[in-house]
């Protein structure tokens, strides 16, 4: 049944039961119908307001759940990134220490070689210097 449309059958039944309708009875019945329609419109409006409030509350709850979930994921990602950064830092520190130790070994080995073969090293250094000088002069 459409709430906005008055039930005309009930009016006809009432009119048929009584004598010919007068202007005052028609106005009275019209006022009653208007009042009933107004009440039904108010009831429907209240129902819609309640439903809108429920939807708004549900949306707020879902937004809060999303914020909580996003915060938890962000914390987990931040913690994971921190752990990975620590691992990378440790690996880099180890490689640096290994490279430093290897450089010290190479330095000590080359120093021993120069002490054992000074003539070869001096002539080799002279040859390399001469070659670099020739190349630099051409440019």
Largest CA distance in the chain: 144
- Specify the pLDDT at position 22: 83
- Specify the pLDDT at position 3: 56
Give the model's confidence band at 4: pLDDT under 50 very low, under 70 low, under 90 confident, else very high. Answer: low
- Specify the pLDDT at position 110: 92
Give residues with Cβ within 8 angstroms of 113, minimum separation 6.
121
| Distance between CA atoms of residues 89 and 67, nearest Å | 32
Range name among 7-21, 58-72, 88-102 with the lowest pLDDT average: 7-21
- Specify the pLDDT at position 79: 95
Taking residues 28-55, report their average pLDDT: 92
Give the model's confidence band at 20: pLDDT under 50 very low, under 70 low, under 90 confident, else very high. Answer: low
- Specify the pLDDT at position 2: 54
């Amino acid at each position: 049944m459409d709430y906005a449309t008055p039930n005309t059958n009930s009016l006809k039944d009432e009119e048929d039961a009584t004598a010919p309708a007068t202007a005052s009875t028609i106005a009275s019945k019209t006022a009653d119908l208007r009042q009933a329609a107004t009440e039904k419109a108010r009831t429907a409006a209240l129902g819609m307001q309640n439903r809108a409030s429920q939807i708004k509350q549900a949306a707020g709850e879902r937004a809060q759940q999303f914020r909580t979930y996003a915060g938890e994921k962000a914390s987990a990602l931040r913690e994971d990134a921190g752990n990975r950064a620590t691992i990378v830092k440790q690996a880099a520190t180890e490689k640096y220490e290994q490279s430093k130790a290897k450089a010290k070994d190479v330095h000590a080995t080359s120093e021993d070689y120069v002490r054992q073969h000074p003539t070869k090293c001096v002539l080799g250094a002279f040859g390399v210097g001469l070659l670099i000088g020739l190349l630099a002069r051409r440019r």
